[in-house]
Structure formats: C-alpha cells, structure tokens
Amino acid sequence: MLISQSWYIVKQTTGNCKIVSNEQAFGDDTEITQKWGPFSSQEEAIARRIGLIRTGKCQPM
C-alpha cells in the first residue's frame, strides 16, 4: 500500500521556516510556532516558503 507524503512549512521560534514531512510536523517539537500546509509535493512547499519569506512571515535559513 502506497501512502502519499504530505509536506508542511513550520516556523521555529528563531523565525526560520523549514520544510518537513507530515511525521515531523506533528511530532513533539516545541520550537514550532506556526505551521502551513499540507502540500502535496516538496517542490510546492519550497515555492510557498519563498512566498512566506518575501512577505516577511519567515526568515531565510
């Protein structure tokens, strides 16, 4: 059985945003302050992260 992978953008307390899989997005990471997604592909999440950086919602890594 093939399970589709979902991707999320998570904002950390440092202001940086990173792209993580659905398993990591719902873990016990207390450094996550905001979450966007799910996105169907990692490429889509990367494009959305660029938009979040441009609008000032995320800091570049």
pTM of this structure = 0.86
Distance from chain centroid for Cα 61: 12
Residue 10, pLDDT above cutoff 90: yes
Domain ranges of the chain: 7-54
Q: What is the C-alpha to C-alpha distance for residues 44 and 25, in angstroms, rounded to an integer?
A: 16
- Closest to 9 in 3D by CA, of 39, 54, 40: 39
For 24-53, how does the pLDDT look when each residue is reduced to its tens digit (9 = 90+)? Answer: 888 777 789 999 999 999 999 999 999 999
